[in-house]
Amino acid sequence: MFAGSLSHIRRCQGAIAESLVSKIQQTGGVATLDDFAAYSVFVQPAFEGSYRGKKVFTSHPPTSGIVLLHMLNLLEHYDLPKEGLTPLNLHRLVEAMKFAAAARTRLGDPAYRVDENTAEIPTKEFAAKIALNITDVSIRPKSCPTKVTHVRFFQDSTHDVDYYNPVYDVMEDHGTVRHHHLKIANSVYLDILDAPVHS
């Protein structure tokens, strides 16, 4: 039974690979069956970080595991469990997500492209620097320095995309979502948010 199962898996993989290559090549791609045959999975231990004293295990680049850790490190500057789900904390969450998305633009596949600054993204030290730029009524997170001269603070402020310092190879992408609107339906309340999107 085990040998038969392996044979079935091989046949499925072959059929799946053939289907993928056919579709890829029909749409202008260059993948071949040899590419699939030569592919091997790189196995490594999970990337480890922490959030409020708990270990967090996630994936390495090129996936966004270290970006998740960056966002958690930013949110660690606030006492979210004690304060709860307030409008201010929702604002902080959104701002942390924006800074995390900007950090994501620095990632690439380490097998082909390495940004020497990528290693700092999941660190507590990097989050402490970035947290200074999250603007809200408390002016600065509790663990940040009392004097900050290089940042302008606004009450509950959000900012244009450039404020978050994304790094793009193509600075003007002319994408289909840029300067358009995204309609988001909340599955619980069925509210519709018509919000401008900047990619």
The ranges of the chain with pLDDT < 70 are 1-13, 137-156, 169-199
pLDDT given at position 13: 63
- Find the angle CA(66)-CA(64)-CA(78) to the nearest 5 degrees: 55
The residue behind tokens 């040899």 is 34
The total number of structural domains that make up the chain: 2
pLDDT given at position 192: 41
CB 196 within 8 A of CB 158: no
Same domain? 59 vs 84: yes
Distance from C-alpha of 68 to C-alpha of 121, rounded to nearest angstrom: 10
Same domain? 69 vs 32: no
Q: Is 157 exposed, middle or buried (0-12, 13-18, 19+ CB in 10 A)?
A: middle
pLDDT given at position 198: 47
- Tell me whether strands 180-185 and 192-197 are parallel, antiparallel or unpaired: antiparallel
pLDDT given at position 137: 56
Same domain? 117 vs 177: yes
Same domain? 18 vs 54: no
Question: What CATH number has the domain bearing residue 144?
Answer: 1.10.246.130
Same domain? 140 vs 167: yes
Same domain? 73 vs 146: yes
Same domain? 29 vs 64: no
Same domain? 74 vs 6: no
pLDDT given at position 53: 95
pLDDT given at position 189: 41
Is pTM, for the whole model, over 0.75? no
Same domain? 113 vs 33: no
pLDDT given at position 113: 75
pLDDT digits (tens, 9 = 90+) for 85-120: 888 898 899 999 999 999 999 888 887 777 778 899
Residue 20 belongs to what domain range?
2-38
Same domain? 81 vs 34: no
Same domain? 23 vs 108: no
Task: Go through 90-124 and write b for each residue having 16 or more CB atoms within 10 A of its CB, e for each that does not.
Answer: ebbbebbebbbbbbbebbeeeeeeeeeebebbbee
Q: Is 67 exposed, middle or buried (0-12, 13-18, 19+ CB in 10 A)?
A: buried
Same domain? 75 vs 139: yes
pLDDT given at position 101: 94
